Every structure is written in C-alpha cells, then in structure tokens.
Structure 1
Amino acid sequence: MLPPRAYYFIGLNAVRVLSIVALLLVFSSNIVTLVNDVKAVNRFLEAGEASRIAAANNVTMTAALKSIDYMSGSTVPNQPAGPFWAVLNRLLIIAQTVILVMSEIGFPSQFFTKYFPVLGREFGLGALGVIQMLIGAAVLSHRVDTFTLVSAFFLFSVGCLNVLLGLIFRDGAKSKRSVTSWRDHAKSALPTHIGPVDVRPVVNAGAQYMGHKAPFDSPPPSFLSQLHHTGSSIHSTEKSPEKNSSGLGFGRQGEKAAAFQGYLLSKPIESLPKYAPARQ
C-alpha cells in the first residue's frame, strides 16, 4: 500500500506527461498550418494578379476578389496585412508552446523564477492551465484541418484539468510532482545518526562553587583547609571505608571534593516502568 504522497506524485506526473504531449502536438500542427497558409497566400496572390491582368476593365471580378473573407484553403483573412498577422499568430503560438514545454520539464528553473514567475516552481498549475486554454481557443477559433483541430481540443482539455489541479493543490502542486523534492523527502526520512547516543546529562560539580573562568585554578583557602581536614579524617577512621572513603559522604561537599580531584559525576535520568501510573 503506497502512501497518499505517492499517489499524488504519480497522478500529477501523468498529467504533466499529457500536457507535454498536447503541447508537442499543437507545436507540430501549427507548423503544418503555417506552411499551408504561406502556400495558400502565394496561390491567392498569383490568382489575383492573373485575374487583374485578364479582367483589367471588369469591375465585377475585381469586386468579387475583394469580397472573399479568407484566402482559399488557409486561415489568412483577406484584409490589409492579413498574411502578416496570420503568420505572426502562428509564430507566437509556436513560441508559447516551446516555453510551456520547458516549464513542464523545469529547465532552466532560474530563468522562469526570474523572468516568468507564474511558470516557476513557486506557483501552481493554474496559470499554466489558463495559458493552455488560451492557446487552444486561439487555434479552435479558425477553420483548420483535422489534425490541428484534434490537437488544439486536446490541449484545451488538458488546460482545464491543470486549472482544476491548481485550485485543489494551489502552490504545492509542482513541489508534489517534483522528482528532486521526492528525493529530498526520502533523504530527510532516514536517521541522521548511527549507533546508541548517550543522553545522560553530565553535571560538573566544580562549576557550582567556582565563580572564575578557570574552575580548577587556585581554590579558595577555606576549601583547602576543609580538604586537609578531610584527609586527616580518612586516615583517622577505619570503621566504615565505603561511606568514609571521601570523608564527606555523598552530599554536596562530597561532590565538590570529587570535582576538585578531577572526577565528573553524572546523574541518570529518572524514569518509570511502562506499567507504573503517571505522577499527579
């Protein structure tokens, strides 16, 4: 059973693949349409020139040529600068599909972050879907061949799906489908240390009575006299060696004496068994 994050990763990347395929289809179909439009414009210009030469005084034929809305077999309107705007429209659509494919691949990421932030990693899929819908609508608004029609409708459908995913996941959609973020998440789930770790606190008893920076340099005279008294008491008593080995027992004075001799005392962490009731 995979975690929900894995299903998000697979689903979003499947939509990404469909988006790239749709953009490539629109890219190729617009190149074909551009070539057909250029050929149709050349044929129209040749036919119009021949008609003007054959019927120089025929006003009816000249008016008929001017009344044609679109050049035959093309998407070019029969108006001033019509071929220029038609060709420019196709070139812009081709450039937009290239940019969107690069955005879906994620390369170069710094370029989109700096110049096209809405297509970068910080934004979701909503802006991408809107641009895809605009491209599809621009192509579908003209009479085109079957291949161009199907590819544009496919791109428009994928754009609607991206808008829906953008509304659901918002700005986290691209991070959920990113391969690098998946690897980073997998690395962060691994333990950062190997072997047991000693978590017991180390208590430096010498720091409790030393106020200067060097805790073991020049102890106070009162402590030296007390230590001398402790040494004499060790030699004078032999009744209980376990208890009187330090002369001061196990209290604060004993900790001070042990710290002065270079010993560090550690206290275990208080714990209760699992079956014991919690303290109130």
Structure 2
Amino acid sequence: MLPPRAYIFIGLNAVRALSIISMVLVFASSIFVMARDVEAFNAFMALSDHASLACEYIPNSDVPNQPAGIFWAVINRILILFEVIMLILSEVGWPAAFFNHFFPVLGRDFGLGPLGIFQCLLGAMILSHHVDDFTLVAAFFLFALGCVNMLLGLVFRESAKWRRSILAWREQAKSILPSAEDIRPPFARPTSTFMSNIFKPKGEQGQAVDEFGKRAGYGFGRQGEKAAGLKGFLISKPLETLPRYAPSTQPERPASSRVATPEPRFKSSNTAI
C-alpha cells in the first residue's frame, strides 16, 4: 500500500495533466473561432446589403457590427492564446526562474489558487459569447478545472506545487533509503593564529591565547618542566652516553715502544738545543 503522500502526488499530477489538456483544447478552439470570424467578416463585407447592416453581430460569428469590431475580436482571441500559453508553461514549470521573477503568482512560491482564477476567467470570457460546440465544451472543461485548482489551492496552499513536483518526490525517496552514519572523529583544523603564536618572540608568547581561550603551550623548556612538575609528572634528563657501535670522539694515541732520546746539549751553553 502506498503512503498518503503518494496518493496526493498522483492526484495533483492527474489534475495538472487534465488542466494542460483543457488549455490545449481552448488554444485550438480559439484559433478555429478566430479564423471563422475573419471568414464571416469578409463574407459580410462582400454582401453589404441594407438588411444585414442593421444586425448587431455579423452572421455566423461573434464579431459585433460596429466600427473596428473585427479588430477587437481578433485582439481578444490573440490575448486568449497568449494567456493560455503562459498558463501551460506555468503548469509545466518551465522556465521557473522567469515566472518567479516576472509572474510570481504563477511561480513556485504560490499555490494553485491564482492558476485556477485565471482559468475560470478565460472560461467565463469564452462562454459569454455564442460559440460552436467544440469551443463550448473546451471552455466549460477549462472552467471546471479552474474551480478544481482553486479548491486545491485552498487545501494545500503554497505547498501544492511542491507536493506534485517530480524533483521533490525524488528527494523524498532518497530520504527513505538508509544512510551510513560516519562515526569517524571530526578533524579539527588549527586556527590561523596557531603558527604565529609559536614563532612569536619570547615576550609576546606569554600573552598569546589559543582558540579555546586558554594560554598557549609551554613547550619543552623550563616553563614546561615547571608545569609538568605541578601536575605530578617527573621529567628526568637522559644520560649522555654513546652506543657501543659509535666511534670515540677523541681516539687514544697508540703507545710507542721507543725510549725517549736524551735532549742534546752543547758545551757552549746549558740551555741551547
């Protein structure tokens, strides 16, 4: 059995698919109606009899019989096409950065309520005119999906688009899988002042403070020996000895078998050599 969020994901994406289909139908019907209105207007202008000039709408169309009536009818259909394209791109979610910056109500930070309002407005605008059966069904379908989107926007609010997002579903699926916990101890990188405290002059080292708020280390000198003695540690000085295989620093002079010769003296002087 699937979890509840899976049913929510499937339901929201099913509504999105139906919404895209309804807007594609409205797009096609708007092009069909615009082409039919232009043909009816051309036929009306070619006939131009006095009986037809008195009617309020051009026959077989929804173009009003007034100055620039065909112009505003075509502009109306072009705007509907443009709005439908924007709503389809919003449902697809591309380009998301464009909608978040220029049309925030259709971006990811808003729910499905604004989308449903736009769909209801388009459906009501098309249904307010006399149209053929295909356009009537497409507009009514779009209006019904707009009401559903407004209801979903009230229920899920701004999280509706996140709940139906495929990328968000993948991220949630990754969190279900077990993850290995890293039990290694964290590596503490020494601070930038560690080396500078070591190489400071002797007078400044006593005032140095490490990253934990304590005083700097005592090193291996007299201060370190004092600190170790206070804590109960004894530091003994090793004896200066050499290993057996090390040569002697002052080699002994070999003993000579020669007897020391007497010091020569001269008859003229007792001290002359």
Match of 2:10 in 1: 10
CA shift digits 1:156-177 (9 cap, x unpaired): 0000000000000001000000
Distance change (3 Å), C-alpha of 1:133 and 1:217: farther
Superposition deviation, residue 137 in structure 1? 0.6
Distance change (3 Å), C-alpha of 1:223 and 1:175: same
Residues 1:221 and 2:226 aligned together: yes
Looking at structure 2, the residues matched to 80 and 162 of structure 1 have their Cα atoms a distance apart, in angstroms, of: 39
In the alignment, structure 2 segments of 5+ residues that lack a partner are 186-209, 237-273
Looking at structure 2, the residues matched to 76 and 222 of structure 1 have their Cα atoms a distance apart, in angstroms, of: 101
Larger fraction in helix: 1
Match of 1:145 in 2: 132
Looking at structure 1, the residues matched to 36 and 70 of structure 2 have their Cα atoms a distance apart, in angstroms, of: 12
Looking at structure 2, the residues matched to 20 and 222 of structure 1 have their Cα atoms a distance apart, in angstroms, of: 79
Q: 2:162 aligns with which of 160, 170, 175?
A: 175
Equivalent AA in structure 2 for residue 212 of structure 1: R
Superposition deviation, residue 214 in structure 1? 2.7
Equivalent AA in structure 1 for residue 216 of structure 2: K
Match of 1:32 in 2: 32
Match of 1:212 in 2: 215
User: The residue matched to 2:129 in structure 1 has which SS?
Assistant: coil
Residues 1:134 and 2:121 aligned together: yes
Q: CA RMSD in A?
A: 2.5
Equivalent AA in structure 2 for residue 37 of structure 1: D
Question: Identity of aligned pairs, percent?
Answer: 50
Distance change (3 Å), C-alpha of 1:189 and 1:215: farther
Looking at structure 1, the residues matched to 93 and 154 of structure 2 have their Cα atoms a distance apart, in angstroms, of: 21
Across the two proteins, how many residue pairs are aligned to each other? 209
User: The residue matched to 1:227 in structure 2 has which SS?
Assistant: coil
What TM-score does the superposition give when structure 1 sets the normalisation length? 0.69
Q: 2:40·2:61 contact (CA, 8 Å) conserved in 1?
A: yes
Looking at structure 2, the residues matched to 88 and 38 of structure 1 have their Cα atoms a distance apart, in angstroms, of: 12
Match of 1:266 in 2: none
* Bigger RCO of structures 1 and 2 (CA < 8 A, at least 6 apart): 1
Superposition deviation, residue 89 in structure 1? 0.5
Superposition deviation, residue 111 in structure 1? 0.8
Distance change (3 Å), C-alpha of 1:214 and 1:45: same
